[in-house]
Amino acid sequence: MSGLLVLRPGPLSLLQDGGRHGWQHLGVSPSGALDWHAAAWANRLLDNPWGTPLLEIALGDVELQSRVDTWLALTGAELPATVDGVPLPAWSRFPLRAGQRLKLGFARSGQRAYLAVAGGFRVSLVLDSVSTQVREGLGGLAGQGAKLATGDLLPCAAASFECTASVPWPYQPDYRVAPLLRVITGGDALEFAAEQLRAFFSQGWRLSPQSDRMGARLQGEPLQAPQRQWSLGMSRGAIQVPPDGQPIILLADHQTMGGYPVLGWLHPLDLNRLAQCPAQQRLRFTQVSIADAQAELREFYRFFGRP
């Protein structure tokens, strides 16, 4: 079988795609790439359709050896990348010949890199997706939710392009800049006292080290949330406020139901930037209208050809 042999898997490298949709009514979270922007560019560089399976690499420290002549694209976190010792430009596509080694060092800024291959990694679907969900034991190479391990072989096919290509620099985010994240207020927002909503937007928060693919936990002056006595379906980007007053922003592996009050949703495109923030990153929030968020999201989907 041809593909990429894993010599060093890194701390957390996961096969992801556009997500496992249509199963939340059975308690299955959508999963998928945390940073849609970087993942979509990696696939676009290789003329892959939206959601083609790729590798999400947290923090870096990965080494792969190719068993096939193919092309790859690397986007996302800034990290040193070489092929047989020759440095690679960021946010670009490049050839990898059989026998050559791709080495990725630790991230210098950003948290997650995305590695795509021409035609995508050829892995069997579980509930219509290859996305790895470790908690639920779904997806990935063997379909059981395992992260990448030494000795794994990522199946892919031979491919060729006429030349290298890179993402134009205006579309490459600077992960060193502290982000201002936009929020669509809604849900239980009207049940919060006005001063509590002002407190959320006026203060600076920090990203907790306890954050993961399920949710980004914030640390700051606690909010006083209204009581709720029922659970509702949850979606990516929902901002829940539990009893301790420290908000949680739900991410790709979020639970499907939740009972904590929701003060709004993070702008879907700002979830990409949040996914690249390190622990203790200082975060601030501002409001955005749902109409503006929808218009920007439609433009994003149109550009990347999301069906």
Per residue in 256-300, pLDDT tens? 999 899 999 999 999 999 999 999 999 999 999 999 999 999 999
Per residue in 223-260, pLDDT tens? 999 987 788 899 999 999 999 999 999 999 999 999 89
pLDDT of residue 55: 98
Which CATH number applies to 180-304: 3.30.565.10, 1.10.3720.10, 3.40.50.300, 2.40.100.10? 2.40.100.10
| Confidence category of residue 46, pLDDT binned at 50, 70, 90 | very high
Q: Rounded to an integer, what distance in angstroms lies between the CA atom of residue 217 and that of residue 188? A: 19
pLDDT of residue 230: 82
pLDDT of residue 227: 85
pLDDT of residue 228: 78
What residue segments make up the domains of the chain, in order of their start? 3-171, 180-304
Please state, rounded to an integer, the average pLDDT across all residues of the chain: 96
pLDDT of residue 53: 98
Per residue in 134-177, pLDDT tens? 999 999 999 999 999 999 999 999 999 999 999 999 999 999 99
Indicate if the pLDDT at residue 184 is higher than 90: yes
The C-alpha angle 253, 276, 307, rounded to 5 degrees, equals: 60
The C-alpha angle 89, 93, 95, rounded to 5 degrees, equals: 100
Indicate if the pLDDT at residue 191 is higher than 80: yes
pLDDT of residue 307: 82
Indicate if the pLDDT at residue 26 is higher than 80: yes
Q: Rounded to an integer, what distance in angstroms lies between the CA atom of residue 206 and that of residue 281? A: 5
Longest dimension (CA), the chain: 62
The average pLDDT across 63-79 equals 98
Listed in sequence order, the DSSP H helices in the chain are: 36-45, 194-202, 270-274, 290-304
Residue 159 one-letter amino acid: A
pTM of the model: 0.96
- Six token digits for residue 190: 């009207």
pLDDT of residue 282: 97
pLDDT of residue 197: 96
The tokens 């997650």 sit on which residue?
112
Indicate if the pLDDT at residue 1 is higher than 80: no
Axis-axis angle for helices 36-45, 290-304 (nearest 10) = 20
The average pLDDT across 50-62 equals 98
